[in-house]
């Protein structure tokens, strides 16, 4: 099989995907103006979010916290972030969501998520990194933006389009059912190329977009957006330099993230200073 230069392979792949784009929906992010390629409807996305949330909550390995000291601060922050979302440029989407938040008692997992439809979860392991309700607002604002901005649907759409393009390229290269081994190798090679060169940069773009809009939501909710910088500085210290190189990661590096947050801070501070501020109560200790 003839080996094409990497640049030509990328151009060929995108030319094969163009017809898919013509048959799909596009939206524009109201904050950044970025065009989004979508192949999934918002209603289907919300259904998938609800199903995934039910599956997570029904997992016997997932223990929901019963401690009001852990639940109450999360619910306070969530309520304020939700109200900010309903005032935001995503107000129409936020009004459609059936919001819900769950606190999982897992002190070893520093994580949180928000699924399409407004289904949120916070793991208690994030408390030491967030430290205060303002730090938690930065985390939850970020996650809520992923749902409101339809980043999940966009990632699914990119994956579907890439899969279609890879299949077409395999056929065009003479890979058929008569040579299954070569077909698998070709698919794997193109998958790795697409993963590093195409899908990961989009994922980093989603993360940066969620960082930016997330601090605007947190500021509008009355939380000091400067806590987002402190949060990621703690993340950087706790990672101990063990994070993968940014080129191979779906997330911006900690340093990139902090620099971007500082660049966006004047806009967020202007919003924060126009709102009644919320006391940044300490989050409860974990490991009790």
Closest to 114 in 3D by CA, of 86, 141, 76: 141
Torsion of the alpha carbons at 134, 137, 142 and 147, rounded to the nearest 10 = -170
Angle between helices 180-194 and 151-172 (to 10 degrees): 140
Spatial distance between the Cα atoms of 66 and 57, rounded to a whole number of angstroms: 14
Burial of 280 (0-12, 13-18, 19+ CB in 10 A): middle
What token pair was written down for 288?
């009790």
Half-sphere exposure of 204 (CA within 13 A, CB side): 20
> Which residues form the catalytic set?
143
Closest to 207 in 3D by CA, of 253, 248, 247, 238: 253
What token pair was written down for 168?
């077409």
The label of the residue with tokens 């809009």 reads: 213
Closest to 220 in 3D by CA, of 94, 84, 86, 78: 84
């Amino acid at each position: 099989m003839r080996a094409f230069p990497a640049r030509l392979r990328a151009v060929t792949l995108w030319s094969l995907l163009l017809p898919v784009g013509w048959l799909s929906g596009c939206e524009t992010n109201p904050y950044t103006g970025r065009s989004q390629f979508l192949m999934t409807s918002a209603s289907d996305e919300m259904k998938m979010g609800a199903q995934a949330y039910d599956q997570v909550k029904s997992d016997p390995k997932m223990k929901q916290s019963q401690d009001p000291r852990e639940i109450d601060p999360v619910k306070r922050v969530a309520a304020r972030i939700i109200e900010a979302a309903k005032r935001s440029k995503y107000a129409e989407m936020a009004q459609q969501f059936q919001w819900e938040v769950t606190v999982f008692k897992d002190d070893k997992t520093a994580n949180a998520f928000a699924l399409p439809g407004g289904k949120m979860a916070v793991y208690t392991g994030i408390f030491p990194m967030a430290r205060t309700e303002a730090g938690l607002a930065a985390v939850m604002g970020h996650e809520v933006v992923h749902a409101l901005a339809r980043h999940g649907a966009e990632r699914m759409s990119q994956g579907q389009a890439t899969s279609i393009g890879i299949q077409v390229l395999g056929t065009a290269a003479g890979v058929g059912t008569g040579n299954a081994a070569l077909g698998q190798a070709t698919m794997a090679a193109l998958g790795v190329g697409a993963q590093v060169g195409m899908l990961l940069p989009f994922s980093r773009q989603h993360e940066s977009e969620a960082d930016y809009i997330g601090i605007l939501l947190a500021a509008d909710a009355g939380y000091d957006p400067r806590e987002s910088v402190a949060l990621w500085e703690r993340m950087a210290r706790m990672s101990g330099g063990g994070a993968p190189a940014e080129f191979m990661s779906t997330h911006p590096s900690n340093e990139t993230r902090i620099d971007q947050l500082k660049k966006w801070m004047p806009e967020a501070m202007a919003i924060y200073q126009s709102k009644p501020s919320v006391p940044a109560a300490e989050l409860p200790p974990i490991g009790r």
